[in-house]
């Protein structure tokens, strides 16, 4: 096993890019896939497709890997007369996790501005008793750029976007950042490809766009590729925390990569589940089986493209998903890299 590539995972997770605005991550993804694939192309919606042809003569299977490049964030829909920016969600943040966060505002003019995310309520000192208990939604928040209105209006336009301002950090035997979902999946795909030697069949490694708002890039890129088999790479909930019963935890940190049986968007192909399980057992790769009652991955989009496709998802157990503190265990990520590479090498 090669040394864990913190440098690449930091670059991937620090980058800003919500659905439809994946520019920064497209550049990194293209650069990395070019080192590993024969060709790298961008499809009309912006998904990045690396093609690694198989060595076999005659008819080859098309194997698609999919990891989404977009992260959850916000779009600016209004600039008010105080220079405060009103926002709408692109993807599902828990509003409770947004109070007093630092953010980046990425403008269409090409600037990256620091901002403060705040709830549009009275300061605590002025609030009548009981008012703090009110439930808030994303549109109740606004961004303060620390600039007078005139300056703000010169720089910011409707349609600029906002992401969380967090940096990659190692913590214990784990790594944390905003947007581990799903840059850690992009990372897993790239690192696994490095260990694929002489694949017989064709591999298409795809950094997809717009997953967080409905698997859109996965649907369109798989229509273009027409894969026989697809493996989505994403995070799943490690709800092994206080307040969750053991039978509701979905996955546990440090228990290995998960092989998905089903989620809210797809049921994994049973043959593929068995293949991955068998390899994990024979190669002694730490793994756990996953059933996620709600939520989905790119596999859900790919499975329903054309006349259907055999799909599966490998997921990285992640605590505090869709917050700024998403955290994954390094050993679970490397187990995923090993399992995917071993499986690809069999094809």
- By annotation, the residues acting in catalysis are 211
**237 C-beta neighbours (distance < 10 Å), count:** 23
Site for Zn ion in 282-321 (CB under 5 A): none
* Alpha carbon separation from 138 to 16, 76, 101 (Å, rounded): 19, 12, 13
Smallest separation (angstroms) from Zn ion to the CB of 52? 23
DSSP 185-199: HHHHHHHHHHT--S-
Single out the residue of 70, 234, 269, 298 in contact with Zn ion (rule: CB under 5 A).
234
Where do we find the tokens 């209004």?
78
| CB closer to Zn ion, 199 vs 210 | 210
Contact assessment for residue 42 and residue 207, using Cβ atoms and an 8 Å cutoff: no
Helix ranges (DSSP H) in the chain = 6-14, 23-34, 149-155, 180-194, 216-225, 270-282, 298-303, 330-346
Smallest separation (angstroms) from Zn ion to the CB of 113? 26
| CB closer to Zn ion, 227 vs 321 | 321
With CA atoms as reference, report the closest residue to 142 among 237, 77, 93, 209: 77
Q: Does 326 bind Zn ion (CB under 5 A)?
A: no
189: tokens are 């795909």
Q: Does 70 bind Zn ion (CB under 5 A)?
A: no
Size of the site for Zn ion (CB under 5 A): 3
Residue 128, C-beta contacts closer than 8 angstroms, at least 6 positions apart: none
| CB closer to Zn ion, 182 vs 290 | 182
| CB closer to Zn ion, 119 vs 291 | 291
Contact assessment for residue 316 and residue 337, using Cβ atoms and an 8 Å cutoff: no
Q: Does 182 bind Zn ion (CB under 5 A)?
A: yes
Q: Which residue is nearest to Zn ion (CB)?
A: 182
Smallest separation (angstroms) from Zn ion to the CB of 121? 31
| CB closer to Zn ion, 199 vs 236 | 236
**222 C-beta neighbours (distance < 10 Å), count:** 29
| CB closer to Zn ion, 212 vs 255 | 212
Single out the residue of 11, 70, 181, 332 in contact with Zn ion (rule: CB under 5 A).
181
Q: How many angstroms separate the CA atoms of 339 and 20, rounded?
A: 31
250: tokens are 């979905």
Q: Does 263 bind Zn ion (CB under 5 A)?
A: no
Interface with Zn ion (CB under 5 A) = 181-182, 234
């Amino acid at each position: 096993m090669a040394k864990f590539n913190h440098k690449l995972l930091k670059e991937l997770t620090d980058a800003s890019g919500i659905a439809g605005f994946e520019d920064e991550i497209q550049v990194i993804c293209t650069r990395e896939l070019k080192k590993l694939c024969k060709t790298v192309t961008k499809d009309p919606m912006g998904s990045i497709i690396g093609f690694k042809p198989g060595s076999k003569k005659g008819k080859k299977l098309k194997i698609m890997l999919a990891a989404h490049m977009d992260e959850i964030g916000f779009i600016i829909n209004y600039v008010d007369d105080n220079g405060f920016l009103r926002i709408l969600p692109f993807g599902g943040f828990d509003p409770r996790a947004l109070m007093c966060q630092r953010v980046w505002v990425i403008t269409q003019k090409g600037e990256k501005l620091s901002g403060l995310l705040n709830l549009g309520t009275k300061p605590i000192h002025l609030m009548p008793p009981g008012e703090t208990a009110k439930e808030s939604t994303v549109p109740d928040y606004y961004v303060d750029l620390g600039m007078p209105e005139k300056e703000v209006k010169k720089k910011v336009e409707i349609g600029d976007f906002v992401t969380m301002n967090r940096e990659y950090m190692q913590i214990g035997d784990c790594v944390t950042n905003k947007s581990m979902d799903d840059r850690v999946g992009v990372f897993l795909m790239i690192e696994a490809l490095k260990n694929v030697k002489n694949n017989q069949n064709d591999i298409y490694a795809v950094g997809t766009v717009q997953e967080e708002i409905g698997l859109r890039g996965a649907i369109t890129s798989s229509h273009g590729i027409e894969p026989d088999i697809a493996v989505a790479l994403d995070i799943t909930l490690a709800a092994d925390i206080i307040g969750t019963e053991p039978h509701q935890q979905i996955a546990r940190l440090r228990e290995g990569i998960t092989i998905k049986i089903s989620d809210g968007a797809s049921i994994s192909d049973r043959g593929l589940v068995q293949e991955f399980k068998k390899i994990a057992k024979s190669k002694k790769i730490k793994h756990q089986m996953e059933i996620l009652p709600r939520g989905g991955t790119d596999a859900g989009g790919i499975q329903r493209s054309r006349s259907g496709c055999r799909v599966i998802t490998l997921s990285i157990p992640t605590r505090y998903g869709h917050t700024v503190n998403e955290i994954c265990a390094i050993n679970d990520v490397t187990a995923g890299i090993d399992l995917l590479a071993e499986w690809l090498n069999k094809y």
